[in-house]
């Protein structure tokens, strides 16, 4: 996917909502400090399709984290529109944004331990994630998901009793349970060895095929290899 050449993209309206888990239209994000103003994103227009892994790549400072924060509804643009699912989110007040985030957006952080609670077993972690999302999920669904991710025999294990790769696959399970609209993953394999990273990526690709939308920032060529689409950012702009 190259957002600017996507046939669903028009200059004035951006990608159409059809098939898109999230989209940005002409988004500008500027940070102001006491001494300077930095434009992290300059009129970015793109769509994140459902059922795909979209990887955001670019050099340090290109605007990847800023883009993920906007798509993940933790920050707002200075101008332009951000949509998650069918809802425009950039104008929402903090409370409404929090509610939307809880129901529709999951995060997967770089360090496996940051994604999990140390005192809960694997099944309980996933059950809690579903409850936080307000999604009715039964134990059989949780068991199926853990089995699909190669963790079927680890249901009672707490994070300290799992390897880094198993922890991150458990975090993937928590991120997709309850069918969020979008999973935002910030360098999710950066702390894993190659074998573990490949299993996490395979899990993401497998789950994307069931309809989940992942947007992943990464420098990791292994991540780019499983991507269904790539967004290249440089100096806050989408480049071909």
Site residues, ligand ADP (CB under 6 A): 31, 33, 38, 40, 58, 60-66
Measured from the CB of residue 125, what is the shortest distance to ligand ADP in angstroms? 27
List the end-to-end C-alpha distance of the chain, in Å, as a whole number: 10
Q: Which is nearer to ligand ADP, 64 or 154 (CB)?
A: 64
| Helix 139-148 / helix 164-176 crossing angle, nearest 10 deg | 140
**In sequence order, what are the residues at sequence separation of 6 or more whose Cβ sits closer than 8 angstroms to the Cβ of residue 145?**
126, 173, 176, 177
Q: Which is nearer to ligand ADP, 105 or 162 (CB)?
A: 105
Q: Which is nearer to ligand ADP, 52 or 64 (CB)?
A: 64
DSSP sequence for 171-185: HHHHHHTT--SEEEE
Q: Which is nearer to ligand ADP, 157 or 237 (CB)?
A: 237
Measured from the CB of residue 238, what is the shortest distance to ligand ADP in angstroms? 13
Q: Which is nearer to ligand ADP, 146 or 227 (CB)?
A: 227
Measured from the CB of residue 61, what is the shortest distance to ligand ADP in angstroms? 4
CA distance 239 to 56: 11
Phi (first) and psi of residue 15, to 5 degrees = -60, 140
Measured from the CB of residue 188, what is the shortest distance to ligand ADP in angstroms? 14
Measured from the CB of residue 67, what is the shortest distance to ligand ADP in angstroms? 7
CA distance 218 to 202: 15
CB atoms within 10 A of CB 64: 24
């Amino acid at each position: 996917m190259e957002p600017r050449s996507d046939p669903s993209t028009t200059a004035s309206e951006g990608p159409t909502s059809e098939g898109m888990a999230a989209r940005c239209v002409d988004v500008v994000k500027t940070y102001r400090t006491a001494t300077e103003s930095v434009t992290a994103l300059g009129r970015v227009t793109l769509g994140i399709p459902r059922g795909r892994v979209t990887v955001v790549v670019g050099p340090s400072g290109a605007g990847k984290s800023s883009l993920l924060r906007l798509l993940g509804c933790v920050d707002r643009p200075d101008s332009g529109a951000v949509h998650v699912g069918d809802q425009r989110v950039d104008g929402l007040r903090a409370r409404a944004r929090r509610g939307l985030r809880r129901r529709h957006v999951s995060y997967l952080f770089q360090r496996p331990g940051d994604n999990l609670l140390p005192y809960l077993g694997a099944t309980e972690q996933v059950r809690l994630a579903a409850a936080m999302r307000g999604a009715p999920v039964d134990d059989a669904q949780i068991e199926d998901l853990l089995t699909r991710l190669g963790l079927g025999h680890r249901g009672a294990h707490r994070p300290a009793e799992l390897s880094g790769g198993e922890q991150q696959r458990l975090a993937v399970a928590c991120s997709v349970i309850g069918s969020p609209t979008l999973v935002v993953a910030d360098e999710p394999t950066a702390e894993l060895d190659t074998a573990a990273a490949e299993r996490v990526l395979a899990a993401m690709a497998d789950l994307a095929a069931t309809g989940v939308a992942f947007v992943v920032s990464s420098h990791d060529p292994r991540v780019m290899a499983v991507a269904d689409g790539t967004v290249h950012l440089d100096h806050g702009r989408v480049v071909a």
